[in-house]
Copies of this chain bind each other. A is one copy, B any other.
C-alpha cells in the first residue's frame, strides 16, 4: 500500500493511496491517534469515482460527526483506472440490445455481476490493508453504496463477514437476489419511487430477498439521481446504531 502525502481540511485527513493497481482514498479524523474506530467502505456510482462529491461529502460527515474512518476505491474502468476492453465491448453490445428492444435493467444487472467478480476480492484486500493502519484499526466495518454501489455492494456484503451493517439501494433483484439471500446483517435499503432506471418491482424484490432480520426499506419520491439529503442524515444514524458502542 503506497500513500501520497496526506492533506487536511475541516478536521478531516485525506490520504490518496494505491493498493496494487487499485487507487483509493482514506478519510480519518485529523490528528486522530492510534485509536481503533469503525470503518465504512463507500461504493461509488456508475460513471463516478472515489472522490465523487456525494462520496466525499458522506465520508467527511462520517469522520466529523461519527469519528469513523471512511474509504473508497475506484471501480475498474472508473476514475483513475484504465478502461477494460471486455467492459467496453459488453457496453456496446448492451446498447445495441436495448436499441433492438431488450429491457435495460437485466443487462445492467448482468454487467454489474461481472464487475463484482473483480471488486469483491479487491474490496476485501482494501479492508485487510486499511484495518492494520494505526489510525484505523480492526474495528467494526460498514458498507454504503447505491446504484452501481448496490450492484457491487450486495455480493461484497454477502461475502465479507467483517461488514456488520450496510446501506444499499437504487438497485434491483435481477442479478443480486441470490447474493442478497446470504446477507444477514442489518440493512437500510433505499428506493426512489419514480426511479427511471430500476423498475420498482425489481427494487422491492431485492429488499424482499435480503435475509437480514433487521432490514428497513426507505422509499422517497423522485428519480434515480434524486435521493433526498435526509437519507444521508439517516445513514449516519443507522451506522451509529450498529457500528458504535
Interface assignment of A213: CB less than 8 Å from any CB of chain B: yes
Binds B, one of A24-32, A34-42, A159-167, A218-226: A218-226
Interface assignment of A208: CB less than 8 Å from any CB of chain B: yes
Interface size for A (C-beta < 8 A) is 15
Interface assignment of A215: CB less than 8 Å from any CB of chain B: yes
**Contact of A193 with B217 in the complex, beta carbons under 8 Å:** yes
Interface assignment of A156: CB less than 8 Å from any CB of chain B: no
- Given A193-B208, A208-B193, verify A218-B216 contact (CB < 8 Å): yes
| This protein's copies in its complex | 2
Within residues 172 to 204 of chain A, which ones have a CB less than 8 A from any CB in chain B? 191, 193, 204
Interface assignment of A68: CB less than 8 Å from any CB of chain B: no
B-side contacts of A193, CB under 8 Å? 207-208, 217
Q: Give Cα A207–Cα B204 distance, bound, in whole angstroms.
A: 14
B-side contacts of A191, CB under 8 Å? 217
Q: Give Cα A129–Cα B205 distance, bound, in whole angstroms.
A: 47
B-side contacts of A220, CB under 8 Å? 215-217
* 6 cross-chain CB contacts under 8 A: A204-B204, A215-B221, A216-B218, A216-B220, A217-B217, A217-B220
